[in-house]
Structure 1
Amino acid sequence: MAAAVAGFRAAHGTEPAGVWAAPGRVNLIGEHTDTSGGLAMPFALPHTTLAAASARPDGVLRLHSANAPGGAVELLLDTLSPAAGSGWAAYPAGVAWAMREAGLPVGGADVHFTSTVPTGAGLSSSAALEVATASALNDLYGLGLTAERVARLAQRAENGFVGVPCGIMDQMASACCTTGHALYLDTRDLTHRAVPFDVAAHGLRLLVVDTRVRHELGDGAYANRHAACELGARRLGVPALRDVAYGELGAALEKLADDPVVRRRVRHVVTENRRVEEVIALLEAGDARAIGPVLTAGHASLRDDFEVSCAELDLVAETANAAGALGARMTGGGFGGSAIALVPDAAADAVAAAVTEAFAAAGFRAPRIFPAAPAAGARRLPTD
């Protein structure tokens, strides 16, 4: 936190009113279901975006980041519009825009950001930036927003201002997760509950493998898949794919036999919702080791049915499982980013070494591998 305060002082010339933290996330299971009203199970990373901030009375939003080149970005709140937003500053600017669009009395602010969430790694660096901003503005202007409302406004910023048609899962994870737990999230009504996920207590480790292949969700591929899911729901006569029961999947796929792409997208969403339910049941039964095959099945579905994997992500999953992992899959939006591997403690080093060696043999850039345990969601940091 000291670095965030010092950075604010250097960028803005005064002391911040406070420092707010919002984490990145790993999604354990339930990928690409949230735009269809489905189920997900993320947990927060210890990696966070910090926002040191103070209110200002002139309607100016002055944004500075230790992680971005260049100086501060100054924007007038009264002239904020989606067409004006680009680059990293669009995310916090979009939060202020979404709050004002919702009629909330948000004024100007000086903000300095610093982050340990890897960007482009599929670990929700954008949601962490949005939620940190929303949390700061919520407190600075006494808005009294719940964590769920903060998440909705952050999602609105990304959808309406940045232009990425993401679901709500990333923002809910950043805003609502708790230490030592995964978040069982119904993205339709935002009901959620904390589910114990203490991997160390089960003699396990969850490795995150950042492939260092950077992805852009705003390039159209994500939107195309979202559109295919909506088309599938319309053709099946349901409000969203969430409403297709797993037991009815065979009949649903028969109705879509003439459109193999939509058929694959539908199959992924319906089976992925089922996998979330399976993982919940196993964790609540205390059998964390048994979720491994479910994770691997999720990767196969993301690779073959939703088609958002890539050679590097596939190599992580295949190599980790061959080297002793209980299960592995890509996590996040796809087309690069990160994968996760659930491994017994005794096999963790061997799995990490095998993945690193496989990347070298394939001529890929060396991955970044680190263990992750469920951490706290968004919060204001104590100043003393």
Structure 2
Amino acid sequence: MRVVEAFREAYGSAPSTVWHAPGRVNLIGEHTDYNDGFVLPFAVPWGVTAAVSPRDDGVVRLLSLQAPGEPLVLADVDAAQGWARYAAGVVWALREAGHPVKGADIALDGDVPQGAGLSSSAALEVAVATALDDVYGLGLPRMDLARLAQRAENEFVGMPCGIMDQAASALSEEGKALFLDCRSLGFRTIPLDLASHGMRILIIDTGVHHELADGQYAARRADCERAAARLGVAALRDVSDLAGALARLSGDERKRVQHVVTENHRVEALVGLLRAGAVTEIGALLNASHLSLRDQYEVSCPELDTAVEAAVRGGARGARMTGGGFGGSAIALVAEDREASVRESVEAAYAERGWRAPRFLPATPAAGAHRVQP
């Protein structure tokens, strides 16, 4: 295993443990997690592998095969920069929570397609968190590890994400989606047996990342918090009378509320269809989700809209953008015998606009974080 060889070469011994944590794709439930709502992600086959050994001196040494060079040596995790902040932030979060994490040698290797919106950051955080939990014998429940990983990203890295990405990476099961209540943190797995219905989820990686994404993400969250305060509710998940709420709001706040409330309903409806075995019927909900994200939440972009529209035109049963938006990926529900025509339709639409062809990735629901060695 590459990461074990790199660890041995850098640190002079074999790692104590090696853990893999996956990225995720969100089937439906976008921008609902930080509004205490519902989400339905599943883990993807790509992720981050962390080889880890404990240290007694408080020092954290970090090596990434995706960032060639000598290991970073951090006597103080606050000194971490760039990619290293995601791993150092997990050490910080564990220590802040009172867990006896003295130090660690860490080597990382990842194969999550970069820029595709598949949450490589959460995969890195959860891989490090589960490995440190193992080597220090902390015995923390998976949801606690997901929350600590989220805290690392929120407070240490400075990205105000919700719990979905880390929970999906930590808790997913092979062949299933994860239905998560982001308020109670209650969850259950839902069978996502696409192949038996002759269907698959196709990820369409636009290859686009718009630089304003992080600031726009924070702005959308602020819109929701202001709207919740104006409506007198703890979070938009608590809005029960949508028409009444919309009558009291205007502008961006009104649009954000309409998206969040209806998206929560779409998640619950889609879960109902999956539990009934009606996999082929979920496409209309995917389409409705995309239109809401485009028009009400305003987080789509021309590349995503074109991918979604062309996929449906090419025969997909439904499609939508997935992830935070402003680039990244769309997903399409595709019958196996229509996959080629969907790909051709999207490629033709991109070529017509002079855009670089997107990348297509089959999304098979994969296992959550797990130990791979020793």
Mark yes or no: TM-score above 0.5. yes
Opposite residue 359 of structure 1, the aligned amino acid is Y
* Equivalent of 1:169 in 164, 187, 190: 164
Opposite residue 14 of structure 2, the aligned amino acid is E
* Equivalent of 1:375 in 363, 366, 372: 366
Contact 1:310 1:336 in 2 (8 A): yes
Q: Distance in 1 between matches of 2:273 and 2:87?
A: 38
What is residue 80 of structure 1 aligned with on the other side?
77
Deviation of residue 68 (structure 1)? Answer: 1.8
Contact 1:36 1:242 in 2 (8 A): yes
Q: Distance in 2 between matches of 1:126 and 1:94?
A: 11
What is residue 261 of structure 2 aligned with on the other side?
270
Q: Distance in 1 between matches of 2:149 and 2:46?
A: 19
Opposite residue 271 of structure 2, the aligned amino acid is I
Q: Distance in 2 between matches of 1:47 and 1:368?
A: 15
**Is residue 2:201 matched to residue 1:210?**
no
Contact 1:121 1:215 in 2 (8 A): no
What is residue 337 of structure 2 aligned with on the other side?
346
Deviations 1:25-70 (A, max 9, x none): 0000000001110000000001110001111221111111111243
Deviation of residue 260 (structure 1)? Answer: 1.0
**Can you give the 5+ residue segments of structure 1 that lack an aligned partner in the other structure?**
none
Opposite residue 56 of structure 1, the aligned amino acid is R
Report how many residues are paired. 374
Larger displacement relative to structure 2 (177-186 or 111-120): 111-120
Deviations 1:49-97 (A, max 9, x none): 0001111221111111111243322112xx333xx44310010000000
Contact 1:317 1:329 in 2 (8 A): yes
Q: Distance in 2 between matches of 1:297 and 1:71?
A: 48
What is residue 251 of structure 1 aligned with on the other side?
244
Deviations 1:286-341 (A, max 9, x none): 10111001001101111111111111111110000000000000101111111100
Q: Distance in 2 between matches of 1:10 and 1:369?
A: 35
**Can you give the 5+ residue segments of structure 2 that lack an aligned partner in the other structure?**
none
Contact 2:213 2:326 in 1 (8 A): no
SS of residue in 1 equivalent to 2:153: helix
User: Counterparts in 2 of 1:26-37, with a 5 A limit?
Assistant: 26-37=25-36
Cα gap change, 1:190 to 1:216, in 2 (>3 Å): farther
User: Counterparts in 2 of 1:180-329, with a 5 A limit?
Assistant: 180-215=175-210, 219-245=214-240, 248-256=241-249, 259-329=250-320
Q: Distance in 2 between matches of 1:215 and 1:21?
A: 29
Contact 1:249 1:270 in 2 (8 A): yes
Deviation of residue 353 (structure 1)? Answer: 1.9
User: Counterparts in 2 of 1:23-102, with a 5 A limit?
Assistant: 23-76=22-75, 79-81=76-78, 84-102=79-97
Contact 2:179 2:189 in 1 (8 A): yes
Between the aligned residues of both structures, percent identity stands at 58
TM-score (norm. length: structure 1)? 0.95
Cα gap change, 1:69 to 1:377, in 2 (>3 Å): same
* Equivalent of 1:136 in 125, 131, 136: 131
Deviation of residue 214 (structure 1)? Answer: 2.4
Alignment RMSD, CA only? 1.2
TM-score (norm. length: structure 2)? 0.98
Q: Distance in 1 between matches of 2:113 and 2:306?
A: 20
Q: Distance in 2 between matches of 1:85 and 1:61?
A: 10
Deviation of residue 218 (structure 1)? Answer: 7.0
SS of residue in 2 equivalent to 1:319: helix
Opposite residue 370 of structure 1, the aligned amino acid is L
Opposite residue 92 of structure 2, the aligned amino acid is W
